[in-house]
Amino acid sequence: MDDMAATTSTSSRRAAKQAEAEWVAQKLTDLVSEMGPGDRIPKRAELMDRFQASERQVLRALHLLHDQGKIVRRIGKGTFVAESDQLRSISHPGPSLITADSRTIIAVANPDHSFFDQCMRTLFRHVETERLQLACRFVDPKTARDFASGYAPPRPLGFVIFSQNLAPLAAQLLADGNRVVILGAPAEESPKDVPSVFSDHETGGELAATYLIKLGHLRLAYSGDWTRQRSRTRGYELAIAKARKTGLEITSSIIDVALREEWERSPKLAAEFLRRPGAPTGIMAWNDREASDLLAVLAQAGVRVPEDVSIMGYDNIEESGWVSPPLTTMDAGIPRMIRAAVEVLTGTAPIQNSRSVMILPTLVIRNSTAPPPH
C-alpha cells in the first residue's frame, strides 16, 4: 500500500510540474506572438521575474519554443524571435493519406527527448542544403505495421528511423523495397540487414569519466536513470575500473531520479548532500538535458559549479552552450551521423546490403568542469 501511495504521489508531482512547465511555455508563446521577427527575447532573469517561474521552468519553455522553430539562439548575442520556422514537419491524420516523391526523406520517430529534437534540426538543415524535402511522422511502435502499409507510389527517397524500438518497422519498409537507415545502435535482436548509424556511447562514457578523473576527481557520481543508455554507463564503469588498477582510490555513487526529485522539491537537500564528507566532486549526467536541469537545482541550492562540484553532460545539443555555466559535454557527433544517414539513402548501393556506421564521440570542454576543490 505504501508503494502504491508513493507511486501515486510521484505521478502527481510529475503531473504538477508538467502543468507548470506548460503554463510558462504558453506565457512565453504569448509574449513571442506579440513581438516581431528578429526582436530580442528578454533575458532569463527577466522572464523568471515576469512569469514568477523558476529558472528551470523558463529554460524548459525556451527549449520548447526553440524546438518549435519560434525562437533562435545567436551565440554571444542572445535569443530572438525567429524569422521563419527552423523546423518544418509534415504530419498526416492517417497513414492511408500519406504520399511522397523521390526527393523526399521521411523521418519516423516516437520522440521523447532533446536528442531527437537536435537530430531533426540537423537533418532539416542538411536536407535543405541538398535541395531535398523532409517529412516527419511520429509513430507508436505498437501500431508501426499499420504505418508501413500507408505509403503509395511514387516512393520517397528513403526513411530515417529514429530509435531501434522501431527496428521491425525499418525491416518491413526495407523488405517492401524502400531505402531505410536507423539512427541508433543496433541491439542484439535487431534485424541484421537494416543499415544503421550510431555513436560509440561506450567509448563516450569512458572518455567522459576519464576526463573527470584526470582533472583530479576521485569521488564521482552518475546522474540519471542508470538503466538508460547502458553503453554509456558501461563506459563510465570501465574508466573507473581502469583508474583503480593504477592505484587511484575512486568512489562512485548514483544520483537517481527519486533523489533528483527530492532535490527539486527542496534544493537545500542537494546542498546538504554535496557538502557532506566524501560527497562526489565530479558528476557525469546521462545527457545534456539532465545536466542542465541539475545546474538549475544546484543554483537554487547555492552550490557553485564548477567551484564546488563539476558537472558534465552528454550529446552536445545546442542548448548545452546556453546554460550557465556552459556545459562541458561529450559530442555524440549528431551532424556526422545525419550526414552518414543521408549518404546511405542517396547512395547507389543495393538497399539489401547492410551497412553500419559508427561515429566516435569527442570531448567538448566548457566552463562547468574544473579540478576539485581543496
What is the DSSP annotation of 93-141?
S-GGG-B--TTEEEEEE---SHHHHHHHHHHHHHHHHTT-EEEEEE--G
Asked if pLDDT for residue 89 goes beyond 50, the answer is: no
Asked if pLDDT for residue 94 goes beyond 60, the answer is: no
Per the model's pLDDT, the better-predicted residue between 217 and 127 turns out to be: 217
pLDDT category, 112, cuts 50, 70, 90?
low
pLDDT category, 34, cuts 50, 70, 90?
confident
Domains 95-194 and 201-332 share a fold: yes
- What pLDDT was estimated at residue 188? 59
For domain 95-194, is the CATH number 3.40.50.2300? yes
pLDDT category, 247, cuts 50, 70, 90?
very high
How far is residue 206 CA from its own chain's centroid? 19
Asked if pLDDT for residue 93 goes beyond 70, the answer is: no
Could you give the C-alpha distances from 283 to 36, 204, 221, 250, in angstroms and in order?
41, 15, 5, 13
- Three cell numbers, residue 339: 550526414
- What pLDDT was estimated at residue 12? 55
Angle between helices 334-346 and 114-129 (to 10 degrees): 50
Rounded distance between C-alpha atoms, residue 288 and residue 31, angstroms: 27
Q: How much is the pTM?
A: 0.73
pLDDT category, 187, cuts 50, 70, 90?
low
**CB neighbours of 266 closer than 8 A, spacing ≥ 6?**
none
Rounded distance between C-alpha atoms, residue 271 and residue 268, angstroms: 5
Could you give the C-alpha distances from 41 to 29, 65, 66, 206, 319, in angstroms and in order?
11, 11, 12, 38, 16
pLDDT category, 6, cuts 50, 70, 90?
very low
For residue range 282-315, list pLDDT tens digits in order: 999 999 989 998 999 999 999 999 999 999 999 9
pLDDT category, 114, cuts 50, 70, 90?
low
CATH architecture designation of domain 201-332: 3-Layer(aba) Sandwich (3.40)
Within 10 angstroms of residue 28's Cβ, the number of other Cβ atoms is 25
Closest by Cα among 350, 358, 360, 359 to 180: 350
Rounded distance between C-alpha atoms, residue 327 and residue 310, angstroms: 10
- What pLDDT was estimated at residue 58? 81
Closest by Cα among 289, 288, 295, 257 to 11: 257
pLDDT category, 101, cuts 50, 70, 90?
low
Domain boundaries, the chain: 2-81, 95-194, 201-332
What letter would DSSP give residue 211? H
- What pLDDT was estimated at residue 302? 95
The CATH number of 2-81 is: 1.10.10.10
